[in-house]
Amino acid sequence: MAVPFPDPASDTDPAARLLAEAAPGDNAPALSVSQLSAAIKRTVEDGFARVRVRGELSGAKRAASGHFYAALKDDNALIDMVMWKGQAARLAFRPEDGIEVIATGKLTTYPGRSKYQLVVDTLEVAGEGALMILFEKLKARLGAEGLFDPARKQDIPRLPRVIGVVTSPTGAVIRDILHRLADRFPMHVIVWPVLVQGDGAAAQVAIAIRGFDAIEPGGAVPRPDLVIVARGGGSIEDLWAFNEEVVVRALADCRIPTISAVGHETDTTLADYAADRRAPTPTAAAEMAVPVRAELQELLATWNGRMIGAANRQQGLWSERLTALARHLPRREALYAPQRQRLDDSGDRLDRSQRQRLAVVADRLATRGASLRPSLLARRWDRDRARLEGLGRLLDSLDPRALLSRGYAMVRDAGGAIVTTAAKARAAGELRLQFADGEVAVQPAGDGASSPRPARKPPPEPAKKGQGELF
C-alpha cells in the first residue's frame, strides 16, 4: 500500500510539525518539568501561605517516623495533609477517622507526584459536636480494653488516714475540699499541684496519680489511702484534659482507691469511668472520703450501749436458766453421802491390808535372820581368801621378770620393742639386752661390737601386797 506524501500545507500547521522550532517573536522558551513544578509550588505557597481548612479526617495514620498523614474531606472535595513529627507529638487529642477538625497550615505541592497537600501546624477539633464524637470513640476504644470494667473497681476506705488530692493549688476546689474535710473529720491531706486545663495538663495529672501510687509505705512521705482527682466546672473543652488517654490509664492502673470529682454534677469525663468512684462535685468527693466525726462518735456510743445492753440481757437470761436448773439438782448432802460411805469402807480395808502385810514381812524377816550364823560367814571368808592366794601365785609364775632372774635376757630394739628373731635383730642395729639387774647395749655380729654400757639398775619391784591389803 502506497503511503501518501504530506500535504505541503502542513508546513504552516504547528501541530503537524515534527521538530520544535522557535516561532518568530516568541519570548516564552520551553520550561523543564522541574522548572514548571517549582513555579507552581512558588505560586501555590505564595497565594496560600496561611490557611485554615475545616473538614473530616479520612485515612488517618501515624508513620513509624512519627509524622501524621491524613486527608481532609467534605461532600465534594478532598485535600491531603501532613503533620510533621514535632507538631504531631504535641496534639491534644488522638486524631481518628470521622472526626471533624480545623487544620491550620500552608498549602504546598509535592512535585514527585504532581499533587498538592496541606502542611499542618495546628489541628483542632471543630466544635463541641466533634469533641463529643471524639469522646465517644475514645470511650468505646478504652472500654473495649476493660479499663471501665466494674470488676476493676476498688472499695473506698471507710476512714483513710492520709488523703492525696490532685488539683490546682490556687483554685477554689482545694479550699472547698480542705474546708469540707475539716468540718467532717480532719485528716492528713497531701496536695499534688497540677494544671487542670490547657497544654500539658493531662500529662501533669497522669504523673501526679502515678506519683502517689509509687510512694512506698513507711517512707518519709506517707502513702495515701485515697486519691481524689478534682477540678471545677467548665465546658467540654475546659475539661478535656480529664478525657485524655494518659489520665484514664493512670487512674485504671492506680493501686490506691480513687475518686474522680471533675466538673459539676452534669459534667462527665472519661476519668469518671476509670476512677473507682465518681463524685458530682469536689465537695461531694470530700464527703465521700470521710464520715462525719460527730456522727461516727454517736454511732459508736449507740453500738456500745447496745452491746452492753445485749450483754446484760444475756447475763440475766443465763442467770435465770442457771437458777431454774439448780432447782432440779439433788442436795449436796445427798450427793456426798455415798462417797463418804465408800471412803470409810476403803479406809477400813486399807488399814487391815497394811496390818496383814506387816505381819507377813515380819515373819519372813525372822525366818531369814535365823539362818544367818557367824560360822557360815567364816567359811565363806576362808574360801575366797584361798582362791585369791592361788591367783596371786599364778600371776607371779607368769611374770617375765621371774625368768630373767634364772639367767634369761629380754632383747629390745632402740624403740623399746621386743625382738623375737635373728633377722629382726640384724635389721634393728643397736639392741638392748635386759637382765634381772639392768640393761646392756650391744651391736649385732658383723657390725662391730661396741663396748658394753654400764648396766642400769632394774626398776624396783612393786611390793607384794599382803592378803590383808586386798580387802
Tell me the average confidence (pLDDT) per consecutive run of 10 residues in the chain, 471 residues long.
Answer: 51 60 66 78 79 87 90 88 87 81 86 80 79 85 93 93 94 92 92 92 95 93 95 86 94 96 89 95 93 86 92 91 84 79 86 88 80 70 86 78 76 83 83 82 62 53 48 37
DSSP string of 154-186, one letter each residue: PPPPSS-SEEEEEE-SSSHHHHHHHHHHHHH--
pLDDT value at residue 231: 93
> What is the rounded CA–CA span in Å between residue 402 and residue 396?
8
Residue where the block lists cell 505560586: 43
Give the separation between CA 393 and CA 267, rounded to whole angstroms. Answer: 125
Write the CB contacts of 251 (distance below 8 Å, at least 6 apart in sequence). 209, 229, 258, 260, 271, 274, 275
Residue from 299, 294, 260 nearest 156 by CA:
260
Q: What is the pLDDT of residue 188?
A: 94
Q: What's the pLDDT score for residue 469?
A: 44
CB atoms within 10 A of CB 297: 11
Distance between CA atoms of residues 163 and 286, nearest Å: 10
Residue 16 pLDDT: 60
